[in-house]
Amino acid sequence: MTSPLTAAEVRRLRALHDKRHREEQDLFVVEGEKVVTELSAEGPSWEELLVTSTSALAAQAGARVISAADMARISHFPTPSTAFGVLRLRRESLGPQELARGLTLALDGVQDAGNVGTLLRIADWFGLDRVLLGSDCADLFSQKVINASMGSFSRVRVVTAPLAEALATVPADVPVIGCDLRGEELGRLSPVEHGVIVIGSEGRGLSAPVAARVTQRVTIPRFGRAESLNAAVAAGIVCAHLRR
C-alpha cells in the first residue's frame, strides 16, 4: 500500500534541490535506484527513504512506499527514479597538519558538478586520503555531484575550505603538485607517499592565489591538437602515475 505525500512534504523535499534550503534543513538528497541501493548496503542512517512499489528497496525496513506520481512530484530528475533518500549533511574540517599526511586531491574552481562527482570517484578508486574542495567549486551535496560520484561521496573524506588558505598549512617538505600546461612532463615525477595534487578549472586553470602555493608544476604530454584535457581525465592520469 502506498503512503500519499502531503503538499507540505512535497514542497519540503523539492526545496532540497536548492543549496540554501539544503543548508537551512541540514539535509541533502540521494536519488536513483543504483546509488540508493549501494548506500543502503553500506548502512547509512537515512533521514527518509522514499521508494515506489517497483523498487527493489520497497520491502526494506524504514522505507516509505509512495506512488509513481508522488515520486515525480519530488524528483530532482526530468525522468523520476524509483528511490529517493534523504541524508543529514556532513561538514568536515581539516585537522592540524592533516595535509602533511597521505595524498590529497585539491580542486580549485571546478564548478562543473559532473566533474566534481567524477573526481570523487577517482579519489575513491586510487585510495586517496582526502579531497579538498575549494569554496568556489560545485556544491558537494548537489544532486549532480552526488550521482556522478556513484556512491564515492560517502566513502571519501571531503573537506570544503578556502583552498589557498588550506594549502598554506602544507609543510615545506610536502609537495604541492599543480597541473599546468607549462609544467614539467609528468613522466619525470616520482611517486610520492605524501603530497597534494591540485586540479584547476578547465576554463582558467589554477587561480593566482592557489598557483602561488604550488611547489611543483606538471603537465601531461600532448601528442594531438586538443587544447586541454577534461579536469577529471587529467586527475585520473596524474593519480595513476603517482600510484604506479
For 107-151, the pLDDT digits (tens) are 999 999 999 999 999 999 999 999 999 999 999 999 999 999 988
Number of C-beta neighbours around residue 115 at 10 A: 24
> What's the mean pLDDT in 185-191?
90
Q: What is the mean pLDDT of the chain?
A: 93
User: For residues 152 and 120, what is the distance between their CA atoms, to the nearest angstrom?
Assistant: 6
Does the global pTM surpass 0.75?
yes
> What's the mean pLDDT in 95-102?
94
**Does residue 201 surpass a pLDDT of 80?**
yes
CA angle at 155 for the pair 241 and 228, rounded to the nearest 5°: 40
**Does residue 202 surpass a pLDDT of 80?**
no
Tell me, what's the pLDDT at 86? 97
At 205, the pLDDT band (50, 70, 90 cuts) reads: confident
> What's the mean pLDDT in 83-105?
94
Map out the domains of the chain as residue ranges.
7-88, 98-242
Nearest in space to 16 (alpha carbons), one of 143, 103, 119, 129: 143
CATH number for the 7-88 domain, one of 3.40.50.300, 3.40.50.261, 3.30.1330.30, 3.20.20.10?
3.30.1330.30
Tell me, what's the pLDDT at 1? 80
Cell matching residue 236: 585520473
Tell me, what's the pLDDT at 61? 87
**Does residue 186 surpass a pLDDT of 80?**
yes
CA dihedral 182, 214, 113, 243 (to 10 degrees): 90
Tell me, what's the pLDDT at 126? 97
3-state helix, strand, coil in the chain (%, to 5): 35, 20, 45
User: For residues 186 and 184, what is the distance between their CA atoms, to the nearest angstrom?
Assistant: 6
Contacts of 99 (CB under 8 A, 6+ apart): 132, 166, 167, 169, 170, 174, 196
CATH number for the 98-242 domain, one of 3.40.50.1820, 3.40.50.2300, 3.40.1280.10, 3.40.50.1580?
3.40.1280.10
Alpha helix (H) residue ranges in the chain:
7-15, 19-25, 33-42, 68-74, 113-125, 143-148, 163-167, 208-211, 231-242
Alpha helix (H) residue ranges in 126-154:
143-148
Q: Which residue has the cell 541501493?
A: 37
> What's the mean pLDDT in 75-86?
92
CA dihedral 205, 209, 211, 213 (to 10 degrees): -150
